[in-house]
Amino acid sequence: MPIDASPHARTDPLAATLATIVGARHVLAEPDLVAPYAVDWTNRWTGRPRLVVRPGSTDEVAAVVAACAQAGAAMVPQGGNTGLVGGAVPRRDEVVISLRRLDRIEPVDQDAAQLVAGAGATLADAQRHARALGLDVPIDFAARDGATIGGIVATNAGGERVLRYGTTRAHVAGLEVVLADGSVVRRMSGLAKDSAGFDIASLLVGSEGTLGIVTAVRLGLVPHLTERAAALLAVDDTRTAVGVVAEVRRRRDDLEAAELFHAEGLDLVCGTLGLARPFQRDHPTYLLVECAGRVDPTEGLAAVLADIDGIAEAAVAADGPRRAALWRYREAHSEAINTAGVPVKLDVAVPVRDLARFEDDVRGVVDATAPGARLVIFGHLAEGNLHVNLLGAADRAEVVTDAVLELVAAFGGSIGAEHGVGQAKVRWLPLTRTREELAAMNAVKRALDPRWLLNPGVVLPIPQGAPES
Ligand SMILES: Cc1cc2nc3c(=O)[nH]c(=O)nc-3n(C[C@H](O)[C@H](O)[C@H](O)COP(=O)(O)OP(=O)(O)OC[C@H]3O[C@@H](n4cnc5c(N)ncnc54)[C@H](O)[C@@H]3O)c2cc1C
């Protein structure tokens, strides 16, 4: 579907100003050209941009932001547009600032085990860069070929290795950011110790483009562990899966991933993508674990698994292609769900000890509020992080979201575990953040972006009386 930019785009004086900064071919206004920037990955969130602008350097980003601020134009920063909460697409005539051209990766700083990447470099490119030198980016997930380093920082992305390494926040060693007035803040020394003053970089991590535009990132790296073994395990239920992971963790110090999915997700993945089923028998629940180290973990992992009760069937894979085939069952979930329709997506976390009980309750709540909807639950087990996906529930999105997120709050959980708040969850943030926390967040926003020009309506609601862009 072609999406027009603002009807005035072709005569917009801002377009001419931006063209003098980035060159006319990097200011987009034609429907076919702006369309990919105006629709999110799930096809659920669509908006009309005033313009799309593609700066090619930090200086250009700074000049673009200053020009937009001068014109009172609201801005939406966009990286790979793989976000799942509608945070990177325009909502009401904003200028989309695409960071993808800032894709330079500097030579790895091997002494500090750090890498400096432009905001538009993809996660996969950064991984390749680090791996060539025996190091690795400690973050990984299925959207690695599209998600950008800037987007990953802006969303504090999680993924499949949080169990071992933590979220993106733990690895940001430096940041370069353009603030709402076009000024540039650079903290790129990569010092491990620096407690002299507020840490602006930490504040920007997870701010989803509402406090500043990330232009470059200094990322901490970890050793590239090439000896790996993955195991796909069939179990009866989530309760058993939680117990299996606890036991593997207790007995091995090299567990890197523990991913959960169920029969409904496997059916969808195999049906949609034509994959062969992993086992001859079907099972209710599946767990994918991966160990990694400097010594081949295959035998040790297999021995531990053989000793744990509750595993109905197991497939262990050591070589790359067989491991990738097992991972495909889990990583293809989002793609298969998207192929089947436009989903309502909820990304929540509860304490791991409550995960199974919470999941039972979610199924009940969905049955009650969206009967007949197709429910696909999967996620990162070790962090109690479930992706609750509903197909065929678009007309009941509000009511079902309300019910599931109320339940999350009752469990003391998070309504946005790793995807963020975006525009999708703004209404529900007060469920898990106190009035005092929200007041502090609003105060930070007002201090850094008093005219509410950066990604308005994302994370926090636009306050009444905020200047209209
Ligand atoms: C198949 C699939 C699997 C996924 N798996 C995971 C997963 O396991 N874990 C996880 O955490 N996420 C996952 N995601 C979500 C998504 O990939 C991440 O949120 C990712 O970090 C987004 O990066 P991006 O470059 O695409 O950002 P975008 O989608 O372009 O933007 C996301 C948000 O960040 C802001 N932003 C982007 N770039 C900048 C910048 N340079 N400066 C300031 N703000 C910016 C945007 O305004 C927006 O609010 C998955 C997505 C898909 C499609």
Here the contacts of 356-364 (C-beta below 8 Å, separation 24 or greater) are 356/237, 356/238, 356/239, 356/242, 358/384, 358/386, 358/407, 358/408, 358/411, 358/413, 359/238, 359/386, 361/407, 362/386, 362/388, 362/404, 362/407
**Of the candidates 44, 42, 37, the residue with the CA atom closest to the CA atom of residue 3:** 37
Query: What size, in residues, is the chain?
Result: 469
Q: pTM here? A: 0.96
Please name the residue whose Cα sits nearest to atom 46 of ligand 1: 88
Provide the sign of the torsion angle of the four alpha carbons 288, 291, 292, 295, taken in this order.
Answer: negative
- Measure the CA dihedral 55/60/64/67, to 10°: -150
Q: For the segment 417-467, what is each residue's pLDDT rounded down to a tens digit?
A: 999 999 999 999 999 999 999 999 999 999 999 999 999 999 999 998 775
At residue 400, the pLDDT reads 97
**Angle at the Cα of 71 from the Cα atoms of 68 and 76, rounded to 5 degrees:** 35
- Could you tell me which residues come within 8 angstroms of residue 230 by beta carbon, excluding any fewer than 6 positions away? 257, 288, 289, 290, 316, 317, 323, 326, 327
Residue by residue, DSSP assigns 94-136 as PEEEE-TT---BPPPBTTTTEEEEETTSBHHHHHHHHHTTTEE
Residue 468's pLDDT band (boundaries 50, 70, 90)? Answer: low
Locate the ligand 1 atom nearest the alpha carbon of residue 146 and give its number: 26
How high does pLDDT run on average in the chain? 96
* Cβ proximity of 263 and 285 under 8 Å: yes
| Percentage with pLDDT > 90 across the chain | 96
pLDDT in tens, 393-405: 999 999 999 999 9
Residue 68 pLDDT > 80: yes
Residue 436: other Cβ atoms inside 10 A: 8
pLDDT at 464: 83
C-alpha span between 239 and 29 (Å, rounded): 52
Could you identify the residue written with the tokens 């005033």? Answer: 50
pLDDT attached to residue 92: 87
Reply yes or no on whether the pLDDT at 9 is more than 80. Answer: no
Cβ atoms of 325 and 230 closer than 8 Å: no
Q: Would you state the torsion angle of the CA atoms of residues 45, 47, 52, 57, taken in this order, to the nearest 10 degrees?
A: -40
**How far is the centre of ligand 1, averaged over its atoms, from the C-alpha of 95 (Å)?**
18
- Are 270 and 364 spatial neighbours (Cβ–Cβ below 8 Å)? no
> Is the pLDDT at 318 greater than 80, yes or no?
yes
CA distance 329 to 90: 33
The continuous run of DSSP H or E covering 444 comes out as helix 435-448
Candidates 43, 45, 78: which one to mutate for ligand 1, based on the most atoms within 8 Å of Cβ?
A: 78
Give the distance (Å) from ligand 1 centre to CA of residue 86: 10
Q: In which band, very low, low, confident or very high, does the pLDDT at 10 lie, cut at 50, 70 and 90?
A: low
Q: Which atom of ligand 1 is nearest to the CA of 160?
A: 8
**C-alpha angle 198/200/205, rounded to 5°?**
130
Kindly state the percentage of the chain with pLDDT values over 70. Answer: 97
Alpha helices in 213-283 (DSSP H): 238-251, 263-273
CA of 233 to the centre of ligand 1 (A): 29
Please give the pLDDT value at position 465.
73
Cα distance between residue 209 and residue 323, in whole Å: 35
Q: Are 201 and 227 in contact (CB under 8 A)?
A: no
Given this model, what pLDDT does residue 11 score?
Answer: 80
- In the reported structure, the alpha carbon of residue 303 is separated from the centroid of ligand 1 by a whole-number distance in angstroms of 38
Nearest partner of 460 among 427, 420, 411, judged by Cα: 427
The yes-or-no verdict on residue 4 having pLDDT over 80 is no
Q: Which one of 141, 167, 208 would you pick to mutate in the ligand 1 pocket, going by the greatest count of ligand atoms within 8 A of its CB?
A: 141
* Pocket (CB within 6 angstroms of ligand 1): 41, 76-84, 87-88, 99, 119, 141-143, 146-148, 150-152, 154-155, 157-159, 208-209, 213-214, 334-335, 418-419, 422, 455, 458
> Could you tell me which residues are beta bridge partners of residue 260?
287, 379
Q: Which residue, 179, 188, 186, is CA-closest to 220?
A: 188
* Ligand 1 pocket test target in 81, 82, 172, 386 with most atoms within 8 Å of CB: 82
Our CA dihedral for 201, 347, 332, 167, rounded to 10 degrees, sits at 30
For the chain, helix (H) and strand (E) counts, in that order, are: 15, 17
